[in-house]
Amino acid sequence: MFFPVGAHKEVGLAFNPLKAIISPRPIGWISSIGADGVHNLAPYSFFNAISESPPMLAFSSSAGTEGDKDSLKNIEETGDFVVNIVSKQLFEAMNASSAALPRAVSEFAEANLTPKPSKLVAAPHVAEAPCYLECRLWKVLDLPASPNGNANRLVIGEVLGIGIEKALITDEGKVDVTRYQPIARLGYKDYASIDAVFESPRPQE
C-alpha cells in the first residue's frame, strides 16, 4: 500500500497512521514557569535528543485556535525548562497534566504532583519523576504552519543538569530503565512501557 500524505482514507485507513509509524516516541514532560511565577506542566511526544555534545534536545508545540501553548509562552519568557521522564507509575498523572487549563492554573496541583525547585534553572521539576533534565532555551524555530494556519514551533534546548533517583542506578553505575519503566507514545491513543532490555555490542567493538 502507498498513498500521498492526506489520502489515508482513500486507501481504507480510518486514521492518519503517521504517529503509529513513527513510534515509539519518548515523552518530554515539560515543566516551566511564567514571568508571573505560575508553574506549568505538559507532555510532548514530538520530542527527542538531537545531539550528545553539547547535549541538546527538542520538542515541537502545535498551536491551537488560541495561539501558542503555555509551555512555549513560559519558555520564551524565562528562557529555561525541565524535561521530566514519565515512569509507568506516573502515567495517569502525565495524562491528567495534558488537560488544557487556563494559564493561571498549574497542572502540578491538577495532577497531584509536587513542583520541586531546580538547581540550575528557574523552572521547577516534578519531584516524583525518576529522572529529569534541566535545560536552557537555545532557539525556537518556526516550522511550516498547519493548513488551518496554526503555528508549529520547535523548541530547542541545551541540557545543563541531570537529576536521577539514586535507587535506579545499578552497582555498575548504569541507569536501569526497567526499574521505572519509561512510557512511550505510540499512534492513536496507544502507549507502551519499557519493561525489558537487551544488550548488543556495535560491530568491531
Ligand X SMILES: Cc1cc2nc3c(=O)[nH]c(=O)nc-3n(C[C@H](O)[C@H](O)[C@H](O)COP(=O)(O)O)c2cc1C
| Residue numbers at the binding site for ligand X (CB under 6 A) | 27, 40, 42-46, 60-62, 69-71, 95, 98, 100, 185
How many helices, marked H, and strands, marked E, lie in the chain?
4, 12
Question: Cβ neighbours of residue 15 under 8 Å, at least 6 residues apart?
Answer: 8, 187, 188
The residue among 40 and 84 lying less far from ligand X, judged by its C-beta, is 40
The residue among 98 and 193 lying less far from ligand X, judged by its C-beta, is 98
Q: Nearest distance from residue 37's CB to ligand X, in Å? A: 15
15 grid coordinates: 486514521
Question: Cβ neighbours of residue 20 under 8 Å, at least 6 residues apart?
Answer: 186, 187, 188, 190
Q: Nearest distance from residue 42's CB to ligand X, in Å? A: 3
The residue among 71 and 84 lying less far from ligand X, judged by its C-beta, is 71
Burial (CB < 10 A; 0-12, 13-18, 19+), residue 172, is exposed
The residue among 38 and 175 lying less far from ligand X, judged by its C-beta, is 38
* Three-class SS state of 152: strand
